[in-house]
Amino acid sequence: MNAISIIPLPGIPQVHPGDDLTSFILAAIDRENVGVENGDVFVICQKVISKAEGAIIDLKTITPSPFSEQIAGLWEKDPRMVEVVLCESSRIVRMKNGVIITETKHGWVCANSGVDASNSYGDDIVIVLPKDPDASARRIRDEVKARRNATIAVIITDTFGRPWRDGLVEFTLGVAGIDPLLDLRGQSDLQGRELHHTVVAVADELAAAAGLLMEKDAAMPVVLIRGYRYAQVEGESKKLIRPAEADLFR
């Protein structure tokens, strides 16, 4: 077992549509004089990915449907925000006490389809999830390879709540260069008993570890994790979504 380092990368500027986020990240790495090594994991918050890709909506351009108006009226919400939440979803999972839980078009189950107004550009601006977070992660992975000749993994994260537990945690939305699941089935525990069900969500564990440095007011959208050993594979975040036939709560 080796030590794992979680390295902050301060100084990344406000990101706008069309910005070269990879250049921002590499400049921060150079300022911190930590370099890029084979096997590094770049953990990047979804919001800067969405900003760079223009996944931004001005609520002044939204005309809410009667259904959105109805939902908004029940809980004193902005009907335009409700309309965006519904448009970003594939289905409503649950609505209660002013909370709208949806399944996004990517397959993630979360509050408000991941639509968020915090750290946006203004009062009427909301940020939505990237269209294809895996593709976003692959692009940054490939750009780092081309510019620094280093083979890395990229994890794109967002902050989600969890069933059965209070509090928010960073979850994985997109991956590149790492399998998000570590399958330990067939291996043995300390007593030599064979493991039959143990599959570890390592991408989520790395995301949560990076989240210790990625607080909302920290201006720390990217963290470098060094020392975690993983198999270098293409990776796909959808592996983290439990199939409907195995989901007892669907």
Domain end among 81, 105, 127 = 127
pLDDT band at 101 (very low <50, low <70, confident <90, very high): very high
Mean per-residue pLDDT for 176-199?
A: 85
Q: Picking from 29-38, 39-48, 110-119, 181-190, which range would have the lowest pLDDT averaged per residue? A: 181-190
**pLDDT tens column, 20-31:** 999 999 999 999
Burial (0-12, 13-18, 19+ Cβ within 10 Å), 201: middle
Distances, alpha carbon 202 to alpha carbons 16, 49, 112, 225, 237, in Å:
31, 21, 25, 13, 11
Domain end among 112, 127, 142 = 127
Do both 30 and 139 map to the same domain?
yes
Q: Which domain holds residue 95?
A: 56-127
The residue that leads in pLDDT, 215 or 101, is 101
How high is the pLDDT of residue 2? 79
Do both 160 and 49 map to the same domain?
yes
Do both 222 and 112 map to the same domain?
no
Do both 163 and 206 map to the same domain?
yes
Specify whether the CB–CB gap between 114 and 128 falls below 8 A. yes
Do both 145 and 111 map to the same domain?
no
Q: What angle do CA 237, 230, 183 make, to 5 degrees?
A: 65
Whether residue 183 lies inside any domain: the answer is yes
- Number of domains present in the structure of the chain: 2
pTM: 0.94
Q: What is the C-alpha to C-alpha distance for residues 208 and 236, in angstroms, rounded to an integer? A: 18
Write the single-letter amino acid at 184: L
Do both 164 and 81 map to the same domain?
no
pLDDT band at 1 (very low <50, low <70, confident <90, very high): low
Do both 78 and 113 map to the same domain?
yes
Q: What is the C-alpha to C-alpha distance for residues 160 and 231, in angstroms, rounded to an integer? A: 26
CATH of the domain at 208: 3.30.1330.100
Do both 31 and 9 map to the same domain?
yes
**pLDDT tens column, 147-175:** 999 999 999 999 998 888 999 999 999 99
Domain end among 127, 149, 169 = 127
CATH of the domain at 116: 3.90.1660.10
216 pLDDT above the threshold of 80 = no
**pLDDT tens column, 41-100:** 999 999 999 999 999 999 999 999 999 999 999 988 999 999 999 999 999 999 988 889
How high is the pLDDT of residue 25? 98
**pLDDT tens column, 113-143:** 999 888 777 789 999 999 999 999 999 999 9
Do both 171 and 192 map to the same domain?
yes
